[in-house]
A and B are shown apart, each in its own frame.
Chain A
Amino acid sequence: MKDNKKIKYLCISILSVLAVIVIWYICIDVVHMKPETVFPGPVKVFRSFIDKLSSKAPDGATLQAHLWSSIKVALLGYALGAVIGVPLGIAMAWNKWVDRFVRPLFDLIRPIPGLAWIPMFILLFGIGITSKALVIFLGALIACIVNSYTGIRQTKETHLWVGDVFGATGSQKLFRIAIPTALPMIFTGLRVALGTSWTALVAAELLASTKGLGYMIQQARAISRPDIIIVGMLAIGAVGAVFDALLHLVEVKVAKGMNVK
């Protein structure tokens, strides 16, 4: 009974995606509602995608080269942000004194979106990897801190009391009660941070760069090639989705039965 329903829903899902592609195809390639220089059809986009895998025109590198250069920078900044952000968030939520001293400083930089630092970092460090990685680091850091903090704060006092009753030490309460409670939130934070990282990276590449997916779509705009823009956007989305799926796999392993559906 349940399997039947699942299969039905799966069919509906596939149909709905197909429907959108068919409507897209009909609107552009059959009825020609918009010219190809404004809104290319799915066929054209697919052709450009195949083309872009081997051709360096018009922006000086193949799709894979742009992709790799973006991923490298994003992962560097993201890893730094996560490694520092999650423990710091936990520490801030758990320890009053860390909270008291770090929170005000954190509150100062928190409302500033990571990408607002781009112009400053570009002036200071040039348009190389340093400035981009720093921007991504800041974005990821904030998301990780906020979510780990919120997660730890969600711990029910009753659970901690239970720990007290059974004589748990402070660190046992942290590692056995608070952190498991917070894990789903921490993973949410990691996923949000990944989104922010990609976003910040694309923004940095749009503004000043010589390589990367953001640079590619910006160049394509300058010469009115929306097909390449869409290829680039889908590539950006695909990489983001793959990373997200990987994180989800880890989440299923680590945070078993928590918010995993």
Chain B
Amino acid sequence: MKKGVLKYRTSDKTVNAVCACIAIGLFLILWYWGTAATKLGMMIPGPIEVLQAIGRGLFGKVGRHSIIAHVGYSMMRVMVGFAIGSLVGVALGLLMGWYGIAEAIFNPLFRIIRPIPPIAWIPISIIWFGLGEDAKIFLIFLAAFSNTTLNSMAGAKSVDPEVINAAKMLGASERQIFTTIVLPASVPSIFAGLQVAISSSWATVLAAEMVRSSEGLGWMIVAGMNNNDMIQILSGIVMIGIVGFILAIIMRKAEEVLCRWNKSGE
């Protein structure tokens, strides 16, 4: 954060770290105490039990696979769907944002599809594509697609008209304006869209796996629910959080590299 309101000095970083440790420490102590000393412990396992379960399952077996393998299954689905969905989404979004005619054609259709959450497509995608990978990838495609389209469109539309007029005055062609002004100006918005898209894809793959699957993190927590195994659910949730966190970090790093001039304050 270089341009924003709160400019932390370097010395503040230590204070930040200390405060973070205190906050998280308090949370863990509260969790531990709550489960060890009160009746809550009968329902919810403590942090140590959950950590042990993760340690055991990481390379051991939860269901038919290790936790690592479950993560791998979920990630593979997300990556394929996200890649296709975001490519199509960015292209369509920029087109719709910049060319009025493209917006007139696609926007009404997009507006009919978009409010339907990708998760609501689960039943029909199972009928259309069966129980295999295709259905899940289709769902993740939808999740990534609608978010990136929306944001790329907003990005292309919010370009400063003065800049465009200046370019026109200096004799830039329509295509030059698009590639040298609209595209770079939309990048921050596109990245905001990609970040939403990746978390939405991640949520969608979990839902898809929860509804119908025999592997993946979504399966892990729903199997925990069916077996009344709270430890498995919580270790699944922790793993889901870790993966989600790593995905977010990757997106943020990519954003830092690709649009250095406009960080979104994350």
Same complex origin of A and B = yes
Residue ranges of A at the interface with B (Cβ–Cβ < 8 Å): 5, 8-10, 12-14, 16-17, 20, 38-39, 93-94, 96-97, 99-105, 107-120, 122-124, 149-150, 152-157, 160, 178, 192, 195, 198-199, 202-203, 206-207, 213-214, 217-218, 220-221, 224, 226, 229-230, 232-234, 236-241, 244, 259, 261
Q: Which of B109, B122, B243 contacts A17 (CB 8 A)?
A: B109
Return chain B residues, CB-CB under 8 Å to A108.
Answer: 24, 27, 241
Size of the chain B interface, CB-CB below 8 angstroms: 78
The A interface is mostly helix, strand or loop, or mixed, namely helix
Q: Are A104 and B24 in contact (CB under 8 A)?
A: yes
Chain A positions within 8 Å of B92 at CB level: none
User: Which residues of chain B come closer than 8 Å to A113, judged between CB atoms?
Assistant: 199, 202-203, 206, 240, 244
How close is B27's CB to chain A, nearest CB, in angstroms? 6
Which of A20, A96, A119 interacts with B109 by CB under 8 Å? A20
Q: Which residues of A contact B202 (CB under 8 A)?
A: 113
Complex: A39 Cα to B128 Cα, angstroms = 8
Task: Report chain B residues within 8 Å CB of A109.
Answer: 241
User: With a CB–CB cut-off of 8 A, which chain A residues contact B65?
Assistant: none
Render B194-225 as a binary contact track against A, CB cut-off 8 A, 1 for contact: 00100110110011001100000010011011
B112 near A17: Cβ-Cβ < 8 Å: yes
Q: 24 A-B Cβ contacts within 8 A?
A: A8-B104, A10-B104, A93-B5, A102-B23, A111-B199, A111-B243, A111-B244, A115-B207, A116-B237, A116-B240, A120-B230, A123-B225, A123-B233, A149-B265, A153-B265, A155-B5, A199-B117, A199-B120, A217-B120, A233-B120, A233-B121, A237-B116, A238-B115, A259-B154
- Per-residue CB contact flags for chain B residues 80-117 toward chain A (1 = under 8 Å, else 0) read 00000000000000000000110111111101111111
- List of A residues within 8 angstroms of B165 by Cβ: none
- Considering the chains assembled together, what is the distance between the CA atoms of A154 and B264 in angstroms? 7
Identity of the chain B residue whose Cβ is nearest the Cβ of A99 in the assembled complex: B6
Residue among B27, B104, B115, B222 with max Cβ neighbours from chain A (10 Å): B115
Q: Is the CB of B101 within 8 A of A240?
A: no
Chain B contacts for A234, CB-based, 8 A: 116
Tell me which residues across on chain A come within 8 A of B245, comparing CB atoms: 107, 110-111
In the assembled complex, the Cα of A181 lies from the Cα of B264 at a distance in Å of 14
Q: Is the CB of B108 within 8 A of A17?
A: yes
Complex CA gap A196/B81 in Å reads 19
A111: B residues at CB distance < 8 A: 199, 240-245, 247-248
Pair A226/B127 contact, Cβ less than 8 Å: yes
Q: Which 7 A-B pairs have the closest CB atoms?
A: A111-B244, A153-B265, A113-B203, A119-B225, A240-B115, A221-B123, A100-B19
- The answer to whether A114 and B203 touch (CB under 8 A), given A119-B221, A156-B3, is yes
| Cβ-defined contact, B6 with A93, below 8 A | yes
Question: From DSSP, what is the main secondary structure of chain B's interface residues?
Answer: helix
Answer yes or no: B158 CB below 8 A from chain A CBs.
Answer: yes
- Cβ A105 vs Cβ B117 within 8 A: no
Q: Determine whether B166 belongs to the interface, using a CB cutoff of 8 Å to chain A.
A: no
Whether, in the assembled complex, B228 has its beta carbon less than 8 Å from a beta carbon of chain A, the answer is yes
**Complex contacts, B221 vs chain A, CB 8 Å:** 116, 119-120
> B134-156, CB under 8 A of A: which get 1 and which 0?
00000000000000000000100
Contacts of B218 in A (CB 8 A): 116
Q: In the bound complex, what is the Cα–Cα distance between A248 and B117 (angstroms)?
A: 19
Cβ-neighbour of B104 out of A13, A195, A198 (below 8 A): A13
Q: Are B225 and A221 in contact (CB under 8 A)?
A: no
In the bound complex, do residue B105 and residue A16 qualify as a contact, i.e. CB atoms below 8 Å apart? yes
Taking CB atoms, residues of chain A closer than 8 Å to B116 are 233-234, 236-237, 240
In the complex, chain B residues whose CB is within 8 Å of the CB of A202: 117, 119-120
Chain A CB within 8 A of B234 CB: yes
Known contacts: A105-B27, A154-B265, A195-B117. The answer to whether A119 contacts B124 by CB under 8 A is no
